[in-house]
Amino acid sequence: MYKIFDIHTHTYPEKIATKATENLGRFYNFHVDRTGTISDLMSNCRDNGISGFLLLGVATNAHQVRNVNEGIAHDMAVGKRAGFEVRGFAAMHQDMEVFASELDYAVSLGLCGVKLHPDIQGADIDDERWYPLYALLEAKGLPLYLHMGDDRPQYRFSEPRKLAKILDRFPKLTVIAAHFGGYRSWEEAVRYLKGRENVWFDTSSALWAMTPEFARYLIDELGYERIMFGTDYPVVSADDELKRFFAVSMTEDERRCILYDNAARLLKLPQLKDSKF
């Protein structure tokens, strides 16, 4: 029996969840499995033995940022009352005039990092408008979560080489590179991100697009100590994603680390007594 933390989830207010998931499916041209509400996320976690999750915000314009972050804080509180270990990362947008005050407000709400989705926001991750935010996160010791990669030519906002450029400029910035460091850009992720000690990775929205053998290759190249399990809820259901995860050959230590221990180290979750770390 493994303890599991889902490092990559998104929720939406009940009144807009249907529209939000429909728009998400339309943007990526795929079917979204779940409803996107906090109640459905918790149900999906309970059904699959998941004890906690990280909620990630995304803002499509600067005016949405505060509402999105307050919504994440609300859903965090709902999850904690239900007995889950919950963390939240704030949304930010490149058109904001000042990042500092909004970041301070997000931290006051209990959020402990920032999530950017460059495809949806329409801004390269190495756009210099982001640099003041990266500098703030680096100075405060707060992690940055990035959607990474895309195989469509019009959505090359988050290529691994661009992240390497950011890491060179902000060497103490902690980054979680989603989707094994770059959706369908995995060889590029290995080339540019392998061995970067301040970069972490998640498994979300990736395992269904590769063989178990290729997933094993990425774990070997990127290092299991820096990889965390994620579903990308509501895109996929946890039961399907866990089946894909357990189809990949791993040692017991590797499974424990990826399913829980690595997230525990990064987010300061309760450590298990028999944890490797």
- Summarize pLDDT for 30-65 with one digit per residue, the tens: 888 899 999 999 999 999 999 999 999 999 999 999
Chain position carrying tokens 């300061």: 268
Instruction: Give the mean pLDDT of 120-139.
Output: 97
The one-letter code for the residue type at 275 is S
CB burial of 155-190 (b: ≥16 within 10 Å; e: otherwise) equals: bebbbbebbbebbeebeebbbbbbbbbbbebbebbb
d(CA 201, CA 193): 10
Residue 238's φ and ψ, nearest 5 degrees, are: -60, -35
* pLDDT score recorded for residue 277: 43
Percent of the chain with pLDDT over 90: 86
- Its sign, for the CA torsion 193, 195, 199, 205, is positive
In whole angstroms, how far apart are CA 45 and each of 51, 79, 181? Answer: 7, 11, 24
Tell me how many degrees the CA angle 241-246-247 measures, rounded to the nearest 5.
95
DSSP conformational letter for 261: I
Alpha carbon 3 to its chain centroid, in Å, reads 19
85-107 pLDDT, tens digit per residue, is: 999 999 999 999 999 999 999 99
* Helix (H/G/I), strand (E/B), else coil: 158: coil
Distances, alpha carbon 254 to alpha carbons 78, 178, 224, 250, in Å: 31, 19, 6, 6
Domains and CATH numbers, the chain: 4-267 (3.20.20.140)
Q: Do residues 196 and 231 make contact, with C-beta atoms less than 8 angstroms apart?
A: no
**pLDDT digits 0-9 by tens, 220-239:** 999 999 999 999 999 999 99
Residue 183 has pLDDT above 90, yes or no: yes
